[in-house]
Amino acid sequence: MYKRLSAVLFPIVTLFMIGAFVWGYQENQEKNAVLIKAENQYQRAFHDLSYHMDRLHSELGNTLAVSSASNAMHRKGLVNVWRLTSEAQNEINQLPLTMLPFNKTEEFLSKISKFSYQTSMRNLEKEPLSNEEIKNLKALYANSGQITKDLQDVQSKVISNRLRWMDVESAMATEDKKLDNTIIDGFKTVDKRVGEYPELNWGPSVSSIYDKRSVKKLSAQPVSPEDIKRKAADFAGAGGGQSNVQVTENGKGTEWASYTATVRSNNRPAPLSLNFTRQGGHLISFSDNREVGPKAVTMEEARKKADQFLQSKGYKDMTAVTADQYDNMGNFTYVRKQDGVLVYPEKMTVRVGLDNGEVTGFQASDLVYEQSQARKIPKPKLTLSQARKKLNPEFKENYNRLALIKDDSGQEALCYEFGGNINGSRYRIYMDANDGSERVVEELKDSDKKAVK
């Protein structure tokens, strides 16, 4: 009986063992194939990064080598610098550096990219490179040369020692000091050296992107927690008055000092949270933490509710310009109108629950900050009909209005905003009211078409 049973089971067990061996072998082969593919991608990105940094250094040198009056060559060189910098940034993003501090180098490349793009896009015949910009290019040429040399040193060690990027990823994940950290140490050296470079004067178009707004720029006097209690109770319409308001000071003793007011009421299922600046007590955001139910109102109805809410809270002359829907929430961007002109820098976003159309929060820091500065809106040099003649003949205009915008360089410009259709899509075209040049072109989403006037 046992012989007969073993005669039957032995081949079955053998087949299972062979199958398990084959399965394990295939799994191991697939795993190795994935690791090899990842390693190849990391190696390619790293060697491409070294190559593009070397090309970037050469292109900066070429731009500096020509005459100061060679505006066409300056434009060509700066466009190439922008392209090569973008390539280098893309390759850095492909490397496993998320746990390795490399932010100084990434920020450095970001500033080079922005500087070269903004400079190449302007009319260099009217505004040639300034002495300060030439000085910047010389500094960038020297700095990029040093970065290239450091990367090439790492590259040489990677090739000669046959180092693997998968080991780098393991070393960063496990903090294993026994593994060869040549690559990690090399990148740390590059980032440390970049952090020691003296700060350049990048100009307002670049620096404004990295500057953080300070509430110290608000001219009003500081307010007390009692003032905030009163303001929060008035805004929320708290039935119990200031007794239902709790105020917390944030960042005391710093330029970022602010207040957070929490308002509780028996009429609401959840508390309201309001944030105020310490300078002047301006409301910069508020949030109703209630749970939003299933969608029951349209985006257009929600926008009308938001219009009424802003009016009731003292936000006059606000116009909705964009709308987005996320599940059962509607988000609207409003800008202030001054003297018949939409002032896009003075904007706020409003969040509406699509269950009943009630506003559940807003963010108004841009509006508060921008309104603190005196702004005089200039008169357009071109008439509406003159600006309209510069539109694409195929553009079907639906509306027009004056708008003050900030262009890609961060400069304010008075424009004619034309809304209309072309190529089967709807667009806004912002045309400079002084010279008729097209400053910004943007395509409207379906939600914008339905909900924004």
Q: Which of 153-157, 237-241, 372-376, 395-399 has the highest mean pLDDT?
A: 395-399
Give the confidence band of 396 by pLDDT, cuts at 50, 70, 90: very high
Q: Are residue 92 and residue 239 in the same domain, yes or no? A: no
Answer whether residue 214 shows pLDDT above 60: no
CA–CA separation, 367 and 346 (whole Å): 4
Q: Are residue 238 and residue 178 in the same domain, yes or no? A: no
CA–CA separation, 137 and 418 (whole Å): 38
Answer whether residue 202 shows pLDDT above 80: no
Cβ neighbours for 42, distance < 8 A, ≥ 6 positions apart: 94, 95, 96, 165, 166, 168
> Which is higher by pLDDT, 213 or 350?
350
Answer whether residue 33 shows pLDDT above 60: yes
Side-chain-facing half-sphere of 364: CA atoms under 13 Å: 25
Answer whether residue 111 shows pLDDT above 50: yes
Q: Are residue 195 and residue 264 in the same domain, yes or no? A: no
Q: Are residue 263 and residue 206 in the same domain, yes or no? A: no
Residues 103-123: what's their mean pLDDT? 80
Q: Are 186 and 139 in contact (CB under 8 A)?
A: no
Residues 183-210: what's their mean pLDDT? 63
CA–CA separation, 86 and 80 (whole Å): 10
Q: Are residue 273 and residue 160 in the same domain, yes or no? A: no
Answer whether residue 354 shows pLDDT above 90: yes
Q: Kindly state the percentage of the chain with pLDDT values over 90.
A: 26
What domain range is 8 assigned to? 2-210
The residue behind tokens 């200039």 is 378
pLDDT at res. 337:
92
Give the confidence band of 210 by pLDDT, cuts at 50, 70, 90: very low
The residue behind tokens 């002084």 is 434
CA–CA separation, 19 and 31 (whole Å): 18
Q: Is residue 254 part of a domain?
A: yes
How many domains would you assign to the chain? 2
pLDDT at res. 431:
93
Question: Of 210, 237, 255, which residue constitutes the final position of a domain?
Answer: 210
Answer whether residue 334 shows pLDDT above 90: yes
Q: Structure pTM?
A: 0.64
Beta pairing partners, 416: 402, 431
pLDDT at res. 278:
87
Give the chain's mean pLDDT: 80
Answer whether residue 259 shows pLDDT above 70: yes
pLDDT at res. 358:
93
pLDDT at res. 351:
94
Q: Are residue 275 and residue 302 in the same domain, yes or no? A: yes
Give the confidence band of 209 by pLDDT, cuts at 50, 70, 90: very low
Q: Is residue 374 part of a domain?
A: no
Strands 329-338 and 341-353: antiparallel
What are 57-86's pLDDT values in tens digits? 888 888 888 877 788 888 888 888 888 888
CA–CA separation, 63 and 120 (whole Å): 12
Answer whether residue 162 shows pLDDT above 70: yes
What are 274-327's pLDDT values in tens digits? 999 888 888 999 998 888 999 999 999 999 999 999 999 999 889 999 998 888
96 phi, psi to nearest 5 deg: -80, 65
Q: Are residue 76 and residue 202 in the same domain, yes or no? A: yes
* R_g of the chain computed on alpha carbons: 30
What is the residue-wise DSSP string for 118-166? HHHHS-TTTSPPPHHHHHHHHHHHHHHHHHHHHHHHHHHHHHHHT--HH
Q: Are residue 241 and residue 179 in the same domain, yes or no? A: no
Residues 375-383: what's their mean pLDDT? 89
Q: Is residue 92 part of a domain?
A: yes
CA–CA separation, 275 and 262 (whole Å): 9
pLDDT at res. 361:
92
